[in-house]
Amino acid sequence: MKIKLTPEFAYLIGVWKGRRIENGIGIKTSGELQGIFLKEVLKVLKIPPQKIQLIENKTFFYHSAYRKFFEETEKNQIDIFKKRNNYSAAFLAGLFDSIGGIEKNLLYFTIANYKDQILIERLGFRTRFVGKRLFILDSKNFKNFIYNFLKLTKLKALIRSGNERDHH
C-alpha cells in the first residue's frame, strides 16, 4: 500500500500528535475535535465506519500501514514540513486545533517539545517556552499561516476576533 501525504492527511497527523492514544491510531478528546477527527478519518483515509471504535472519549482504529506512516511522519516532522506550504500549515493547524490556545493575543501550544519548536522556527516564526507552553511570538503571521486549515470553530473564531481569552 503506497501512502501519499496530502495537506488533509498532514492535518490529521497534527491532531493525532497532540492527542494520541496508545492503542491503534486515535485520539483522546471529546466534543468538536472528536467529531472532526472522525469525519476526517472517514473522508481522508477512507476507513470504513465499522472499523472505527468510539470508547468513552477515545476515537481510534487499527491499520498497521497508516500507523507506521503517522509515526514516521511525526518522527521526521522537521524534514517533512521544512517549507512554508499547505502541508506544513495543515500539520501545524491540526496540532494547534489539538493542543493550541490563545493568551494575551499570543498563540501557544500547551505541551510542545523541542522538535516542535525547531520546526516552527525553521518556518520563520519566533517562539519561546514558558513552562511547557510554546508561545509563538509573532502570532499574527503564524495565525495567517495556519488559519485556512483550522477546523475547530470556537478556536477559529477566537483567532479571527483577536480575543485575549485563554482557550485551553
Q: What is the pLDDT along the chain (168 residues), one digit of tens a residue?
A: 789 999 999 999 999 999 999 989 999 998 899 999 999 999 999 999 999 999 989 999 999 999 999 999 999 999 999 999 999 999 999 999 999 999 988 999 999 999 999 999 999 999 999 999 999 999 999 999 999 999 998 777 777 776 544 444
- Per-residue confidence (pLDDT) for residue 160, from 0 to 100: 77
Angle formed by the axes of helices 86-99 and 32-44, nearest 10°: 150
Radius of gyration of the chain (CA): 15
pTM of the model: 0.93
Q: Could you give the residue ranges of the DSSP H alpha helices within 45-165? A: 64-75, 77-80, 86-99, 114-122, 139-146, 153-161
Query: What are the φ/ψ torsions at residue 105 (nearest 5 degrees)?
Result: 65, 10
Report pLDDT for 67. 96
* pLDDT at site 162: 62
Integer Cα distance of 96 and 88 in angstroms: 12
Q: In what order do the strands lie in the sheet containing 127-130?
A: 100-103, 106-109, 133-136, 127-130
Q: Which domains are assigned to the chain?
A: 7-77 (3.30.70), 100-161 (no CATH)
The contacts of residue 153 (CB under 8 Å, 6+ apart) are 32
**C-alpha cell recorded at residue 60:** 481510534
Write out the three cell numbers for 95: 496540532
> 58-61 and 100-103: which strand pairing?
unpaired
